[in-house]
Amino acid sequence: MNILVVGLSHNTAPVEIREKVAFSPTAMAEPLQQMLALDAVNEGIIVSTCNRVELYATSREPERAIIQLQHFLADFHKLSFERIEEHLYDLHGEDAIRHVLRVAASLDSMIIGEPQILGQIKTAYGYASEFKTAGLILNRFMHKAFSVAKRVRTETAIASNAVSVSFAAVELARKIFSNLEDKTVMLIGAGEMCELAARHFINNGIAEVLVTNRTFSRAEKLAAEFNGRAVSFENFRDQLHQVDIVLSSTGAPDYVLEAKKLSEVIRLRRNKPMFLIDIAVPRDIDPKANKIDNIYLYDVDDLQGVVQANLKERKKEADKAEAIINEEIVQFYRWLSTLEVKPTIVALRRKLEELRQTEVKKTLANLSADDKTAKSIDALTRALVNKILHQPTSILKDAQNSEDGDAYIDAVRTLFDLPVPVADDSTATDGAGQKD
């Protein structure tokens, strides 16, 4: 049985293509059932996010299943196959297993280490479980993916460094103040970047949020979202001595905070540290403020520098994560192979035993053999069958962990006309270790 992946992502397709093949998260029953109705597909899961749409499936005919899945993706969304063909990728076997584990561990994300994708895969698996399109293999595989993602986050620091400008600001503030729980932040301007950074600060326990904006109603609206307080733009400088952290992004042509004013503010604060984050272009805060003792001023370039340094650190940690995935692939592949090898060996032994018993009965029927002779013939033929089976059985067991395993299994089934094995839960636990 093969695991397959067919899909496209931010690596292969622009957003205008990705949005055309996206599946609605509130209407997954129909596409999942249509996917499972493809005659070469045994199990199916659909992962659909803003950055990727991927179909996970199992099949005994991977090449035919891949073609069917590719056309299903186009047909379901009423697109010509040619429209999306160049953006699609398809994987099977070890390549597919590696890809899904890397996606779950956020190694294939636009931002390495971001946590959202794991939750999105869990949601996709939840739909497949609800509509019964995930069977034994994908059930086990998804739990393996979840445990690998958890292991990557536990054993590496892949998600420990801020890689967005807004969160980098919070990370720097924690270095300056250590504890943010008794701190006050002021937003100067009510743009998206300020708002996002403020949310990060609130999530990290900031005590109070003040908001000022040239349009006071906008300041009131944003302050209400944060359970904060709106301040008139004309008077906000008079309240700066109460503020520990300033986030500024106004779009003003000139500085809204001069170094001279900030010198007065720091005196009123009795030299208590003050963290200023200027994410405006052109800048809102006079860069000379950085020369004032106990004032820490960072502009957008400074924050981008922090982000880039952190991205480099995440990429170093990604190498550790890849090693973990390589290790886990071996374990999962070993389990997956047992689903095919053990039933094949059992079927082969059963077939040869049936042939042996049939031929022994024929022989004994034509002989006037006593019990001792009959037992000797039975033992002789049993020993011959065991000796004949020893070599192919050993080869099959050894081959189950190699790339040629499927070829050996298919050859044995064809040569001895064996039935296709059906994996069940009892077979699944053999050689698999404990469940994830």
pLDDT of amino acid 421: 54
pLDDT tens readout for residues 359-368: 999 988 888 7
- pLDDT greater than 50 at residue 12: yes
Q: What is the DSSP letter of 39?
A: T
In the chain, the percentage of residues whose pLDDT exceeds 70 is 92
pLDDT of amino acid 240: 96
Average pLDDT over residues 369-397: 89
Tokens of 85: 């063909």
Tokens of 286: 């006079």
Strand positions, DSSP E, 262-336 = 274-278, 295-299
In the chain, the percentage of residues whose pLDDT exceeds 90 is 51
Neighbours of 389 (CB within 10 A): 16
3-state class (DSSP) for residue 79: coil
List domains and CATH numbers for the chain: 2-155 (3.30.460.30), 165-293 (3.40.50.720), 332-429 (no CATH)
The amino acid sitting at 297 is L
pLDDT tens readout for residues 213-252: 999 999 999 899 889 999 999 999 999 999 999 999 888 8
pLDDT tens readout for residues 270-294: 999 999 998 887 889 999 999 999 9
Average pLDDT over residues 242-268: 92
| CA nearest to 423, candidates 342, 358, 302, 339 | 339
Residues 219 and 211 sit within 8 Å (Cβ to Cβ) = yes
pLDDT of amino acid 403: 59
Catalytic-residue membership of 194: no
Averaged pLDDT score across all residues of the chain: 86
pLDDT of amino acid 282: 80
The number of residues in the chain equals: 436
Average pLDDT over residues 126-147: 94
Strand positions, DSSP E, 36-123 = 43-48, 52-59, 89-92
pLDDT of amino acid 424: 42
- To the question of pTM greater than 0.75 for the whole model, the response is no
- pLDDT greater than 60 at residue 426: no
Top-confidence range, 77-91, 162-176, 323-337: 77-91
| CA nearest to 310, candidates 177, 148, 175, 111 | 111
Average pLDDT over residues 123-141: 94
Residues 70 and 76 sit within 8 Å (Cβ to Cβ) = no
3-state class (DSSP) for residue 340: helix
Average pLDDT over residues 367-377: 87
Residues 97 and 137 sit within 8 Å (Cβ to Cβ) = no
Confidence class of residue 51 from pLDDT cuts 50, 70 and 90? confident
Q: What is the DSSP letter of 158?
A: T
Tokens of 325: 């995935």
pLDDT tens readout for residues 144-170: 999 999 999 888 877 765 556 667 788
Task: State how far the Cα of 104 lies from the Cα of 142, in Å rounded to an integer.
Answer: 9
Neighbours of 305 (CB within 10 A): 12
- pLDDT greater than 50 at residue 427: no
Residues 137 and 339 sit within 8 Å (Cβ to Cβ) = yes
Residues 206 and 183 sit within 8 Å (Cβ to Cβ) = yes
Distances 2 to 135, 374, 386, 389, 410 between C-alpha atoms, Å: 13, 46, 31, 26, 13
- Going across the sheet that includes 52-59, the strands are 43-48, 52-59, 2-9, 89-92
pLDDT of amino acid 428: 38
Catalytic option among 15, 29, 37, 50: 50
- pLDDT greater than 90 at residue 432: no
pLDDT of amino acid 174: 83
pLDDT tens readout for residues 23-49: 988 899 999 999 999 999 999 999 998
Task: State how far the Cα of 122 lies from the Cα of 267, in Å rounded to an integer.
Answer: 53
